[in-house]
């Protein structure tokens, strides 16, 4: 029996405002527990919330970027639930009149384009954070309580973990470009909830869904979807049934665990927030926000192809991150070989970032320093391989490449006489490879070149070494 996985996502995005949604407390990440909160965000009796206008602007900004209809009239509602991360026992959110709806994002997986529907985007406040530091003891930190969020809810259009990953990465990229959020997943600025069900292929009705909450990395998102899809299929194949429930994903065990039965909307007993007036937006204000949007990823990608004559593949990767695209364009201010810059960024720079688990906005050196490095390789001052080692040093020290080359004596050896002396010793030490080459084994030349490069600690000009060895063996 073939099964199909049906996935919808709910994405919580912390907005990059300086103050919280209903008070003037800072939204700065971290700080000593309960130092970034006041009677308003703690929900003390007698306090009144005042909606932060910037929150509305950022929600509209995100909605336009995600091709949504912007509601001219929306309102805030109370979502009631009793949980210690919300001291006032309700969250101010939006229920039946969200600020944005009916949007879409186009993705491409395995060469197939697909449109993922955005059901709605609504504004709400974040809850506090519970700390379970000792068995049986939980502490509450309300610094995060009242930080402004938008919740982006998709249609159940996704069918695999790969589609979800591609969508999530594209959504993050779009939000970064709009500058409504820093999207720092490691700090919880971007969190995914997964609603997942399975059904027999061809069956029109959805299966019973489960929800996995607060996935804050793409790896967790993919692994959680794969696990939960497999778990549900196995339950059904064994003759069981799926319970509608909220589940917790555990990265360390690579498993999900049941937390509680899934609430329905009526469980929250929504009602209009009595302390906030409805949100009415004028067309002129929405148009002004639209005109203020920066160049978005798809437009920038096409411009990179046209302006810098880069392949689609390169443009796609470089524009996937606003920070990476900006870094590339800064490099182009002092260098006229776009493809070479692209190759180094897509190759060595992204490789080192991945090794160090860092994001493109954490590249520690300036674009000009990378350009200086590339010019040294172009001039033959250092080899490409040495250039890669210098780049690694730049990640560690932020020093200029010229200083690193000078300090470590890495200038490329291009003196023919010096190279011939080294090659003579290599040929003398490796008679078997010399004989193999002369007997027609062309691969032997590679070994001899490698031995010469090793003898010079990678500083020899590889093209000259190759040429000189071939001449010596004739």
Checking if the pLDDT of 261 tops 80, the result is: no
Task: Find the range with the poorest average confidence among 43-47, 265-269, 441-445.
Answer: 265-269
Residues 6+ apart with CB under 8 A from 446: none
List the Cα angle 67/69/74 in 5-degree steps.
Answer: 135
d(CA 374, CA 342): 11
136: pLDDT strictly greater than 90: no
Question: Which two tokens mark 95?
Answer: 């229920």
The mean predicted confidence, pLDDT, of the chain is 92
Q: Is 186 exposed, middle or buried (0-12, 13-18, 19+ CB in 10 A)?
A: exposed
Query: How many degrees, rounded to 5, is the angle at CA 112 between CA 106 and CA 117?
Result: 30
By C-alpha distance, which of 19, 56, 49 is closest to 36? 19
Q: How many CB atoms lie within 10 A of CB 405?
A: 22
Tokens representing residue 463 in the block:
């093209």
Convert the pLDDT of each residue in 11-63 to its tens digit: 999 999 999 999 999 999 888 999 999 999 988 889 999 999 999 999 999 99
Instruction: Assess whether pLDDT exceeds 90 at residue 202.
Output: no
CA distance linking residue 464 with residue 468, whole number of Å? 6
pLDDT of residue 137: 87
Give Cα 104 to chain centroid, integer Å: 19
End-to-end CA distance of the chain: 67
Q: What is the rounded average pLDDT of the residues 415-421?
A: 87
Residue 287 has pLDDT above 80, yes or no: yes
The whole-number pLDDT of residue 263 equals: 67
The whole-number average pLDDT for the span 161-174 is 96
Higher-confidence residue of 187 and 375: namely: 375
- Encode pLDDT of 81-100 as tens digits: 888 888 889 999 999 999 99
- Quick one: pLDDT at residue 51? 97
What is the pLDDT at residue 91?
Answer: 94
Q: How confident is the model at residue 445 (pLDDT cuts 50, 70, 90)?
A: confident
Residues of the chain above pLDDT 70, percent: 99
d(CA 280, CA 345): 45
Per-residue pLDDT band at 440 (split at 50, 70, 90) = confident
Whole-angstrom Cα distance, residue 335 to residue 297? 23
Q: In what order do the strands lie in the sheet with 271-272?
A: 90-93, 77-80, 271-272
Buried b (16+ CB within 10 A) or exposed e, 166-177: bbbebbbbbbbb
- Round to whole Å and give the CA distance between 367 and 270: 51
Q: What is the pLDDT of residue 262?
A: 65
- Of residues 428 and 122, the one with the higher pLDDT is 122
Please give the angle made by the CA atoms of 462, 468 and 474, to the nearest 5 degrees.
140
Per-residue pLDDT reduced to its tens digit, 320-365: 999 999 999 999 998 999 999 999 999 999 999 999 988 899 999 9
* pLDDT attached to residue 472: 87
DSSP symbols for 125-168: E---EEEEEETTEEEEE-SSTT-EEEEEEE-S-B-SHHHHHHHH
DSSP assignment of 342-375 equals HHHIIIIIHHHHHHTT--GGG--S-HHHHHHHHH
Cα 328 to its chain centre, rounded Å, is 18
- Please report which helix (H) or strand (E) contains residue 470, including its range: helix 462-472
Instruction: Identify whether the C-beta of residue 158 lies closer than 8 Å to the C-beta of residue 197.
Output: no
The DSSP symbol for 413 reads B
Question: What confidence category does residue 265 fall into, taking pLDDT thresholds of 50, 70 and 90?
Answer: low
């Amino acid at each position: 029996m073939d099964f199909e996985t049906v996935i919808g996502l709910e994405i919580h995005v912390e907005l990059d405002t300086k103050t919280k949604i209903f008070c003037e407390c800072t939204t700065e990440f971290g700080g000593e527990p309960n130092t970034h909160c006041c009677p308003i965000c703690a929900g003390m009796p007698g306090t009144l919330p005042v909606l932060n206008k910037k929150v509305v602007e950022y929600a509209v900004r995100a909605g336009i970027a995600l091709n949504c209809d912007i509601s001219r009239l929306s309102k805030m509602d109370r979502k009631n639930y009793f949980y210690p991360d919300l001291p006032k026992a309700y969250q101010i959110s939006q229920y039946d009149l969200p600020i944005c709806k009916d949007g879409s994002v186009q993705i491409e997986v395995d060469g197939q384009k697909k449109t993922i529907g955005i059901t709605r985007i609504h504004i709400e406040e974040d809850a506090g954070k519970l700390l379970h530091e000792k068995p049986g003891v939980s502490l509450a930190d309300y610094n995060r309580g009242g930080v402004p969020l938008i919740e982006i809810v998709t249609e159940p259009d996704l069918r695999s973990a790969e589609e979800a990953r591609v969508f999530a990465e594209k959504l993050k990229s779009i939000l970064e470009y709009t500058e409504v959020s820093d999207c720092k997943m490691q700090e919880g600025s971007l969190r995914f909830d997964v609603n997942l069900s399975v059904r027999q292929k061809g069956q029109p009705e959805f299966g019973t869904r489960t929800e996995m909450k607060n996935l804050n990395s793409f790896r967790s998102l993919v692994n959680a979807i794969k696990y939960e899809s497999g778990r549900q299929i196995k339950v059904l194949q064994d003759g069981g049934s799926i319970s509608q429930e909220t589940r917790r994903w555990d990265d360390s065990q690579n498993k999900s665990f049941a937390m509680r039965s899934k609430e329905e909307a009526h469980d929250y007993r929504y009602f209009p927030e009595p302390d906030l007036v409805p949100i009415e937006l004028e067309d002129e204000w929405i148009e002004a926000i639209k005109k203020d949007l920066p160049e978005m990823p798809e437009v920038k990608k096409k411009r990179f192809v046209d302006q810098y004559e880069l392949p689609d593949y390169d443009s796609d990767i470089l524009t996937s991150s606003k920070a990476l695209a900006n870094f590339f364009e800064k490099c182009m201010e002092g260098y006229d070989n776009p493809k070479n810059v692209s190759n180094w960024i897509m190759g060595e720079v992204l490789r080192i970032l991945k090794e160090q688990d860092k994001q493109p906005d954490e590249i520690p050196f300036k674009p000009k320093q990378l350009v200086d490095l590339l010019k040294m390789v172009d001039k033959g001052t250092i080899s490409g391989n040495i250039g890669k080692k210098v780049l690694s040093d730049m990640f560690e020290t932020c020093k200029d490449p010229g200083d690193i080359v000078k300090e470590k004596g890495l200038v490329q050896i291009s003196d023919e006489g010096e190279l011939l002396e080294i090659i003579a010793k290599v040929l003398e030490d490796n008679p078997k490879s010399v004989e193999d080459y002369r007997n027609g084994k062309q691969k032997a030349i590679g070994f001899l070149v490698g031995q010469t490069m090793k003898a010079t600690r990678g500083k020899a000009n590889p093209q000259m070494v190759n040429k000189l060895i071939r001449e010596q063996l004739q």
